[in-house]
């Protein structure tokens, strides 16, 4: 199969594992990673992970994830694993765009985060998760996916964790420093565990795009200067942790997403509007970007990578949200268009996102998922010949 086709990371969970995940979603009186709260859960997760790793290898994937089977949500499990963080069931879930483009679609509600002490990334459960992945990958290259520092900085900054008399961190600056330290602690333990590739997933860039109608930062209530300042803070914390990872010999990748929940999305925003802010300034080695529909705008945004020959770009031209195969002519046309901007050997192909950013997954079957993965392999082989 083609080494030029990659997956973002997450894959649909099997029903035996989902039975435990659905129970986790409803319970506030449990402690991450929840193994002691549900008999048989740890064993089921381990068996399911082993099976999905074998499936990836059988389908010719050259870089293996654990399917994110250890997670309930793409980002929050990582924070639940920090020392000083507590999970709770919030009054409301996240609000996504429903399929009609008009109404809101509410997600699960176990998304609350409370900072109870100084954040720490030491002895994180994800290190055990990675070691299990590496032991099962049969010598294949592996990667671990976690949320970017900036995404978590954003979520925690916009919560009620700052500015109170009893707040652990008094303001955004203190929180940024504490979060940076926690991430560095985790990254160092990941490297010490033999990890080589760490992927930071991020959903915030398009909030700063002027053509995103759902952005809180492009309206009248926030000035352009304040918007650029906050974007700068996000770039800064990411680059600090990326630099640290590079100093330890790690490859640091990113996946940028516009939201992916039950085949719904969070909003719009084109890459051309945030290319100078994010694509050009972030020091990642590989960017997984979404171009599965018109929301992403023109491929001309890739021009900011012209003077960064060390950077690889994975074009998410395929959709993980649909249960049908993608239009191959469209994908090949856009691959050709992208190769006129960036050298062909620096490009790769993927679906725009994982198939199960949260454990419920998108609206397709496992058989349809693997058929879409096989199609991606076929298109990549046709375009690159390898």
Task: Give residue 67's region: left, alpha or beta (phi > 0; psi -120 to 50).
Answer: left
Name the pTM for this structure. 0.95
Per-residue pLDDT reduced to its tens digit, 154-187: 999 888 899 888 999 999 999 999 999 999 999 9
Q: Which two tokens stand for residue 227?
A: 């918007």
Between the alpha carbon of residue 319 and those of residues 37, 105, 146, 270, 327, the distances in Å are: 36, 20, 21, 17, 10
Right CATH number for 15-384 from 3.40.50.10800, 1.20.1250.20, 3.20.20.210, 3.40.190.10? Answer: 3.20.20.210
Per-residue pLDDT reduced to its tens digit, 292-339: 888 788 999 999 999 999 999 999 999 999 999 999 999 999 999 999
Per-residue pLDDT reduced to its tens digit, 25-52: 999 999 999 999 999 999 999 999 999 9
Instruction: Place 239 in a pLDDT band, splitting at 50, 70 and 90.
Output: very high
Determine the pLDDT at residue 297.
86
Domain definitions of the chain by residue range: 15-384
Distance CA 286, CA 33 (A): 30
Distance CA 210, CA 274 (A): 8
Instruction: Place 261 in a pLDDT band, splitting at 50, 70 and 90.
Output: low
Q: Which residue in the block uniquely carries the two structure tokens 């961190």?
A: 169
Per-residue pLDDT reduced to its tens digit, 109-138: 899 999 999 999 999 999 999 999 999 999
Distance CA 272, CA 279 (A): 9
Q: How many residues does the chain have?
A: 386
């Amino acid at each position: 199969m083609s080494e030029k086709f990659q997956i973002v990371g997450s894959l649909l969970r099997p029903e035996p594992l989902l039975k435990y995940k659905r129970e986790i979603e409803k319970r506030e009186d449990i402690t991450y990673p929840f193994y002691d709260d549900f008999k048989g859960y740890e064993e089921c997760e381990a068996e399911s992970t082993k099976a999905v790793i074998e499936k990836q290898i059988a389908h010719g994937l050259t870089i293996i994830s654990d399917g994110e089977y250890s997670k309930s949500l793409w980002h929050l499990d990582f924070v639940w694993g920090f020392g000083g963080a507590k999970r709770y069931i919030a009054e409301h879930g996240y609000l996504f765009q429903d399929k009609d483009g008009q109404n809101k679609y509410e997600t699960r509600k176990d998304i609350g985060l409370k900072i109870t002490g100084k954040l720490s990334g030491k002895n994180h459960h994800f290190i055990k998760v990675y070691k299990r992945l590496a032991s099962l990958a049969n010598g294949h290259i592996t990667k671990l996916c976690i949320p970017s520092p900036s995404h978590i900085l954003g979520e925690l900054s916009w919560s009620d964790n700052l500015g109170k008399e009893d707040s652990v961190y008094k303001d955004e600056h203190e929180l940024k420093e504490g979060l940076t330290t926690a991430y560095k602690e985790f990254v160092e333990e990941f490297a010490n565990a033999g990890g080589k590739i760490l992927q930071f997933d991020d959903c915030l860039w398009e909030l700063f795009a002027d053509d995103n109608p759902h952005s809180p930062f492009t309206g009248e209530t926030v000035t352009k200067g304040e918007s650029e300042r906050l974007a700068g803070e996000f770039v800064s914390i990411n680059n600090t942790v990326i630099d640290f990872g590079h100093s330890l010999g790690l490859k640091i990748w990113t996946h940028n997403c516009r939201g992916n929940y039950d085949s719904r999305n969070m909003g719009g925003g084109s890459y051309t509007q945030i290319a100078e802010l994010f694509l050009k300034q972030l020091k990642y080695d590989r960017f997984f970007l979404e171009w599965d529909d018109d929301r992403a705008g023109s491929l001309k945004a890739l021009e900011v990578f012209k003077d960064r020959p060390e950077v690889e770009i994975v074009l998410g031209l395929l959709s993980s949200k649909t249960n049908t195969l993608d239009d191959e002519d469209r994908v090949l046309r856009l691959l050709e268009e992208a190769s006129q901007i960036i050298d062909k050997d620096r490009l790769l192909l993927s679906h725009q996102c994982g198939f199960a950013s949260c454990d419920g997954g998108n609206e397709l079957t496992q058989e349809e998922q693997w058929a879409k993965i096989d199609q991606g392999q076929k298109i990549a082989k046709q375009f690159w010949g390898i």
